[in-house]
């Protein structure tokens, strides 16, 4: 194992993305995209040479906040002048995540490019983030804000690199994957495998995504949105939610590698950490209606963490509340990030 390579990650050109090193020098916050090439000792796959793509948006010298979302999230969290398309956490831009006051850092998950076809652990992701901080000469994060899988990675980051982060916000992600949620994901992976058998990955992937969406949302939301009676067309019954689910899945399939999905889905199920090993002050955010991460697990996390507070929200959007309950999440972020590292106003 080449520890030297790990300790000195290099900033390189991403492949195949042409966007690397684009930088904005307008009045708007500076936005930088890049890649870090390094060597990581993966827990289940040995030493590997990897590339980690990142995006950093905000004023130079401002405190750095890392934002990490679910397995479908990526380095483009919020829009900027340089990269104006909506990011995966666009809803929070300026609402708890203000890129005029902080530098917002996000990465593409290890394995998200579909090139790394081995089991990836949430702890591996934490080390990948540390390598990015090394490459960017960022000594310490003001905060690590993780939602869903990002919260799992955040717990590992704080346990493994506690001196590199002042504060953790862990939204809808716990110290373990719940066994029922793991079974739900295993069936999504089976759907992909079934599609692959016929050399048409997209249909299996689309079914997997629809199954995932059911787990992200709630009966309360579906009762409101999809109350119409089913239709019988060409002798087949079609229920009210199918158009919506299929449309969302098609959009997702178009930008998702089956290998990446399988490996990141597995990674959630591999996740496990003893909360007592996380010394960083943590705000735990739980959603009462979350069908993937039961409230009980979030309470157990908060109780076992050495330094924690818990905030509980009600939301008909369940696990997806971090993408939809903008005001409540914004309030929690503002409160949690206030004054951390003496930097975030």
Residues that bind its own copies (CB under 8 A): 44-45, 118-119, 178-187, 190-191, 194-195, 197-198, 200, 203-204, 207, 210-211, 214, 217-219, 222-223, 225-227, 229-230, 232, 235-242, 245, 266, 269-270, 272, 294
CB of 177 to its own copies, least distance (A): 8
CB of 291 to its own copies, least distance (A): 8
Rounded Cα–Cα distance for residues 295 and 219 (Å):
17
CB of 182 to its own copies, least distance (A): 4
CB of 42 to its own copies, least distance (A): 11
Q: Which of 148, 172, 265, 308 is catalytic?
A: 148
Q: Could you tell me the CA-to-CA distances from 116 to 72, 280, 332 in Å, in that order?
A: 16, 30, 35
For its own copies, the closer of residues 203 and 331 by Cβ is 203
27 is catalytic: no
CB of 261 to its own copies, least distance (A): 13
For its own copies, the closer of residues 225 and 335 by Cβ is 225
CA contacts within 13 A on the Cβ side of 93: 18
Reading the block at residue 161, the tokens are 């690199």
For its own copies, the closer of residues 134 and 290 by Cβ is 290
Q: Which of 147, 175, 319, 320 is catalytic?
A: 319
Reading the block at residue 142, the tokens are 């003001």
Residue 122 sits at φ, ψ, to 5 deg, of: -60, -30
Q: Which of 124, 290, 297, 320 is catalytic?
A: 290
Q: How many other CB atoms are found less than 10 A from the CB of residue 37?
A: 18
121 is catalytic: no
Question: Crossing angle of helices 122-135/258-270, nearest 10°?
Answer: 110
319 is catalytic: yes
For its own copies, the closer of residues 161 and 175 by Cβ is 175
For its own copies, the closer of residues 21 and 180 by Cβ is 180
Rounded Cα–Cα distance for residues 113 and 109 (Å):
8
CB of 221 to its own copies, least distance (A): 8
Q: How many other CB atoms are found less than 10 A from the CB of residue 276?
A: 11
Q: Which of 330, 331, 283 is nearest to 307 (CA)?
A: 283
Q: Is 150 buried (19+), middle (13-18) or exposed (0-12) by CB count in 10 A? A: buried
Question: Crossing angle of helices 122-135/149-160, nearest 10°?
Answer: 70
For its own copies, the closer of residues 270 and 310 by Cβ is 270
Q: Which of 110, 107, 126 is nearest to 118 (CA)?
A: 110
CB of 180 to its own copies, least distance (A): 4
For its own copies, the closer of residues 179 and 342 by Cβ is 179
Active site (catalytic) residues: 148, 290, 319
């Amino acid at each position: 194992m080449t520890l030297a390579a790990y300790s000195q990650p290099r900033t390189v050109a991403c492949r195949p993305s042409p966007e690397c090193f684009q930088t904005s020098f307008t009045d708007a916050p500076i936005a930088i995209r890049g890649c870090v090439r390094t060597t990581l000792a993966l827990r289940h796959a040995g030493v590997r040479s990897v590339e980690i793509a990142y995006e950093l948006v905000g004023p130079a010298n401002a405190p750095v906040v890392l934002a990490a979302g679910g397995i479908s999230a990526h380095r483009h969290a919020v829009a900027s002048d340089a990269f104006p398309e909506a990011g995966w956490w666009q809803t929070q831009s300026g609402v708890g995540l203000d890129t005029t006051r902080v530098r917002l850092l996000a990465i593409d998950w290890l394995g998200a490019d579909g090139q790394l076809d081995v089991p990836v652990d949430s702890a591996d992701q934490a080390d990948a983030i540390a390598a990015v901080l090394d490459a960017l000469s960022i000594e310490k994060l003001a905060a690590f804000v993780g939602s869903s899988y990002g919260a799992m990675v955040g717990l590992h980051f704080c346990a493994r690199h506690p001196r590199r982060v002042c504060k953790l916000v862990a939204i809808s992600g716990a110290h373990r994957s719940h066994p029922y949620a793991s079974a739900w994901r295993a069936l999504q992976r089976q759907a992909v495998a079934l599609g692959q058998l016929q050399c048409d990955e997209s249909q299996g992937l689309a079914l997997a995504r629809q199954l995932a969406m059911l787990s992200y949302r709630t009966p309360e939301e579906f009762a409101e949105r999809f109350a119409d009676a089913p239709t019988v067309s060409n002798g087949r019954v079609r229920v009210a939610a199918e158009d919506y689910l299929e449309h969302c899945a098609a959009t997702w399939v178009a930008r998702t590698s089956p290998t990446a999905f399988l490996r990141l889905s597995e990674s959630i199920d591999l996740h496990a950490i003893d909360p007592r090993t996380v010394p960083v002050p943590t705000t735990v955010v739980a959603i009462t209606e979350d069908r993937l991460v039961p409230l009980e697990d979030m309470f157990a996390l908060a109780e076992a963490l050495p330094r924690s507070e818990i905030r509980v929200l009600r939301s008909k959007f369940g696990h997806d509340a971090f993408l939809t309950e903008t005001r409540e999440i914004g309030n929690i972020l503002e409160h949690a990030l206030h004054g951390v590292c003496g930097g975030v106003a």
